[in-house]
Structure 1
Amino acid sequence: MCQLLGMNCNTPTDIQFSFEGFAKRGGLTDEHGDGWGIAFFEGNAARCFIDHKPASNSPVAELIRSYPIRSTNVISHIRKATVGEVKLANCHPFVRELWGQAWVFAHNGDLKQYNPQLHGDFLPIGDTDSEQAFCEILQALKQAFGNRTSLNRPALRDIEPVVRAACSDIARHGTFNMLLSNGQALFAHCSTKLQYIIRAYPFKQAHLIDCDLQVDFGQVTTPKDRVAVIATTALTDDEVWTSFEAGSLLVFQDGQAVIKDGLPVPH
């Protein structure tokens, strides 16, 4: 199976610390060596880097580790191929345009007997079940709301039930852990395993599991900062991570969970 990493913040933040440990799982501390990718949102656009080489020794991954790109929404993925050969077209995250903004998607799992009826607006470039699922979700959104522009995009509270219904339908075919973002919010659906942590003031130190690296977030943040990190498994060994419930969909905005399974999350 693949692994996922997402970040949602209330202010543009770099993901270098989390990515340093996550990338090690791409062929060094774990077996996910069949490609990787990462996408950063900048307004309505997404800057996406993918490589069919293992993240642990990819020159592109080294660029990300040394170049602190700041974003409020980031999605990354390391792949262990189950459907589709090892090639660039099958590397996550996948990116498509809808309503004048980029949508980014990554999936962990394996879907059986899954052949969605795609009508042509969104079609896969590669041959993974993951990219088909992404196209089906976007197709469901367009069928629900039609053609929109930046001036009349549907609200997050209206988008969430459509995404949730599509995820539930797709999950009937197997394991469907996924991250999805339009740059305004980050959707996370769990079939089997996802965990998250909210980092907010007062910030503490954190130490990575996959390499001997520690950071004091209190030295690199402000009291107003808030960051949500979502991963397949916890990235640090000295913080308390929260496990998703199987079958749940959480929506993160401004560094915190705001919707869970259709209901507002109290804060």
Structure 2
Amino acid sequence: MCEIFCFNSNNPKEVNECLECFYGHSDEHPHGWGLANMQKDESMIDKEPVKASCSQHLKNILSNPVIGKNVFAHIRLATVGEIISPNCHPFIEADDNNRSWMLIHNGTIFDYPELDKYKEKEHGDTDSERILLYIIDKINDFEAKKGSVSTIKERFYILEKIIRNLSKNNKLNLMIYDGDLTYIHSNMKDSLYYLKNDEGFLVASTPLTDDKEWKPVELNKLFGLIDGNIIFESEEHENEFILTEENKKAMEDFLKSITGEIHD
């Protein structure tokens, strides 16, 4: 599958050391990389469908300080969708009230037919992009009925319901940013970790420093972060994802189809 990374803080900090460690895992996740430095006035998003360690563009970015309060990164091991730029994370789309939403995903949607209608709307052909389009539709529907922009709390509980439903029979490690909140969710054991310190919150698929305080993200809950603090925490749902032999075979068959590689 993929690996994901997030830094959330109350003040802009340099995150190059963590990013370099994170992108160092690209030998196992060679099908693309992405980086998002999300800011209120201007956001930087870069991505390429090449292995991170082979990207001169990424090397150029990391040769300068990457400083931000809300920084996200992704390295891709394709399980759905071709190895092309539109399928690299992060994905970003605007809702009807011109709020920008960003999403990165580690996982696979095996069973959620409601996403199928977005195959005609998406720029690429990944289940991850469809998740974002689905979320935006739900936000648009809510705000149209309300007649005004949603509050932070309203958006959190809209996403809680969406993710609770989406997580059944699907691996759904997600990081989402809506301009205010950073949303974090994991439903697979030992697949997402966090470190809270004076710098802020670090969240990653595997610990990125030698600090012994890294802990697993609590499963089956949605967390909402602002300025390095948990503002919202949902009730726990029951949709823990356990990878089956059938799931593994489906992903291996897909990898063979796009790379011609054989995976034991």
TM over 0.5: yes
Aligned pair partner of 1:168 in 164, 171, 182: 164
1:173 to partner: Cα distance:
3.8
8 Å CA contact 1:4, 1:106 repeated in 2: yes
- Aligned pairs for 1:1-267 (under 5 A) are 1-27=1-27, 31-98=28-95, 99-116=97-114, 123-146=121-144, 153-192=149-188, 193-200=191-198, 226-261=199-234
User: Shift of the alpha carbon at 1:134?
Assistant: 1.3
Aligned pairs, number: 232
Q: 2: CA distance between counterparts of 1:188 and 1:63? A: 29
Superposed displacement of residue 119, structure 1:
7.2
Change (3 A) 1:6 1:18: same
Q: Match of 2:245?
A: none
Mapped partners of 1:100, 1:70: distance in 2: 25
- Structure 1 unaligned regions, length at least 5: 201-225
- CA distance 1:58–1:148, change in 2 (3 Å): farther
Query: 2: distance between equivalents of 1:66 and 1:128?
Result: 31
Runs of 4+ in 1 over 6 A off after TM superposition: none
CA distance in 1: counterparts of 2:112 and 2:129, whole angstroms: 12
Give TM-score scaled by structure 2 length.
0.81
Q: What is the CA deviation profile of residues 120-158 of structure 1, one whole-angstrom value per residue up to 9, with x for unaligned ones?
A: 7x9321101111111111111111122999xx6322211
Please tell me whether the aligned partners of residues 2 and 32 of structure 1 are also in contact (alpha carbons under 8 angstroms). yes
How far the C-alpha of 1:117 sits from its partner, in A, is 5.1
Asked if structure 1 preserves the Cα contact closer than 8 Å seen for 2:221 and 2:235, the reply is no
Deviation at 1:183, TM superposition (A): 2.6
Q: Distance in 2 between matches of 1:255 and 1:246?
A: 20
Whether contact under 8 Å (1:141, 1:159) holds in the other structure is: yes
Flag structure 2 segments of 5+ consecutive residues without an equivalent.
237-264
Local SS of the residue matching 2:218? coil
- Give the Cα–Cα distance (whole angstroms) in 2 for the partners of residues 123 and 189 of structure 1: 25
The answer to which structure has the higher strand fraction is: 1
- Of 159-168 and 138-147, more deviation after overlay is shown by 138-147
TM-score by length of 1: 0.80
- Residue deviations 1:189-220 (CA, integer Å, cap 9, x gap): 111121111121xxxxxxxxxxxxxxxxxxxx
Aligned to 2:68, the other structure's residue is in SS state strand
Q: Is the 8 A contact 1:45 1:102 kept in 2?
A: no
Alpha-carbon distance change, 184 to 26 in structure 1, aligned in 2, over 3 angstroms: same
